[in-house]
Amino acid sequence: MTPEYDLVVVGGGPAGSTAATAVAMRGHRVLLLERDTFPRYQIGESLLPATVHGVCRLLGVADEVAQAGFTLKRGGTLRWGRDPQPWQFSFSMTPRLPEPTATAFQVERSRFDDILLRNARRVGVEVRENSPVRRALTEGGRVHGVEYTDADGTTRTAHTRFVIDASGNTSRLHGRVGGARVYSDFFRNLAVFGYYAGGRRLPEPNSGNIFCAAFDAGWIWYIPLRDDLTSVGAVIAPEHYAAVQHDARTAWQDMIKACPEVDRLLTDVPVASEPPYDQVRVRKDYSYWKNSLWTPGMALVGDAACFVDPVLSSGVHLATYGALLAARAVNSALDGSVSEERGFAEFEARYRREYGVFYEFLIAFYDMERNDRSYFWSAKKVTRVDLDEAAAFAELAGGVASGDAAVGVPADLGAHWSAAAAELDGAVGKLTAGDHRVNPLLSTRVVAETFHTGNDLQEQALYGGPLDDPGPAARSGLAVTTDGLAWAAS
């Protein structure tokens, strides 16, 4: 059967909109099927500069996002590690980028995701909301379409040359690719979160920062969304699940009371009563990856593919970056410049590497917090990383994420992560001591690597390519075209 579409994208979150837009911008026929009707609620409100100034600019939506009135985020303020006083991490410490692009936003996801989805429509994507996809259609080992229910309840099929599954953590299709999800034991946490109708702000220039504070039971995020709206969530051990399930609102408020730095910011502030912010929500077991991210005809991106702990606000970055990588592979295959196999292999190698550097950073970051009396923090020591998980990580990253091909066996990984944690801890110590002549955080390997790809993305969007482009990725020999939307064979 002749395919009606070049690409069908499942899900209209940031990953789905990015993939669909990037392929439609090359003139291809794209259908995006979304289960809900937008705007819809989603968690994941604190963004990174790479999304705002990198991916959004490549997609032609950066100006609209900038004018939407979201809270400007200059970085993060953290009560974390050995210092009892909060310390700041500012994006402007990233030396490669001009000052105005060293910022991000705190966004109401219903509005942010809607802007991206409308932009997809504008560039020619056929968007159908209220249209849940039921299954992928396959023939001869290749995915060639999807079956979905349309807005009037009719079951339909769409035939296509490629499918990208961007349907998030509740994906029904991901099992087609790479078997079951691999769940992280180290990051097996529980999040309980809700909203206040206001809240005090940190002193300028950091009033728009995300504030993360460690406390005995775990850590709390405090995200200023609007003057009259603050997102507050507690990340705690899964052992609290029974209490949270019994009464999530009480458990959430008890956690906030147990964290004096956050409690002080909320004294006498009422909880939000406007929908959808009037509910207290729970997510658990949300850190996972897959052994493979593509199969002939289909790729997984965003939360359908992988996610790791929210403390560094990496979710939307990984989702939109992964989606852009998959779109490059689809665009290159459609125009015949790079085979599907080679293009998707490049997508997967780069996506795994990016996931891996964030994963490593987070392990080192968790290791910094000192709290011997806490069950949560004692369990989050590098030395407690399970050997099976370290082995799975080594396989996932294949030595690439660590930046050191020699590091690959789990025992070495433990020592490697401990060294990264000690280096990070030392750098934060210098930061709070006020030594900012050479940014101590950036001099650490783990921070430099974590922000490397994001900087490249921003430079690609601003100047048409990274200024210090090291050339094609060593493994496959593929570089990026100057519009950022496809692979260039060398």
The residues binding ligand FAD (CB under 6 A) are 10-16, 33-36, 40, 42-47, 132-133, 166-168, 170, 172, 191, 233, 283, 286, 302-303, 307, 310, 313, 315-316, 319
| Beta carbon nearer to ligand FAD, 94 or 313 | 313
| Beta carbon nearer to ligand FAD, 131 or 332 | 131
- CB 43 within 8 Å of CB 283: yes
| Beta carbon nearer to ligand FAD, 365 or 476 | 365
CA distances from 35 to 22, 127, 128 (A): 21, 11, 9
Q: How far apart are CA 421 and CA 429, in angstroms?
A: 12
Q: How far apart are CA 81 and CA 424, in angstroms?
A: 10
Output the smallest distance, CB 164 to ligand FAD, in A: 11
Output the smallest distance, CB 132 to ligand FAD, in A: 4
Output the smallest distance, CB 137 to ligand FAD, in A: 14
Q: How far apart are the first and last CA of the chain?
A: 34
Output the smallest distance, CB 165 to ligand FAD, in A: 9
| Beta carbon nearer to ligand FAD, 47 or 97 | 47
Of 304, 337, 301, 295, the closest CA to residue 321 belongs to 301
Output the smallest distance, CB 331 to ligand FAD, in A: 19
**Letter string b/e over residues 340-371, b meaning 16 or more CB atoms within 10 A of that residue's CB:** bebbbbbbbbbbbbbbbbbbbbbbbbbbbbee
Angle, to 10 degrees, between the axis of helix 340-368 and the axis of helix 387-397? 140
Output the smallest distance, CB 361 to ligand FAD, in A: 14
Name 294's bridge partners: 299
- CB 103 within 8 Å of CB 265: no
Output the smallest distance, CB 228 to ligand FAD, in A: 20
| Beta carbon nearer to ligand FAD, 133 or 262 | 133
| Beta carbon nearer to ligand FAD, 8 or 97 | 8
- CB 41 within 8 Å of CB 136: no
Output the smallest distance, CB 208 to ligand FAD, in A: 13
Output the smallest distance, CB 488 to ligand FAD, in A: 26
Q: How far apart are CA 182 and CA 391, in angstroms?
A: 12
Output the smallest distance, CB 108 to ligand FAD, in A: 12
Output the smallest distance, CB 231 to ligand FAD, in A: 8
| Beta carbon nearer to ligand FAD, 288 or 425 | 288
| Beta carbon nearer to ligand FAD, 235 or 385 | 235
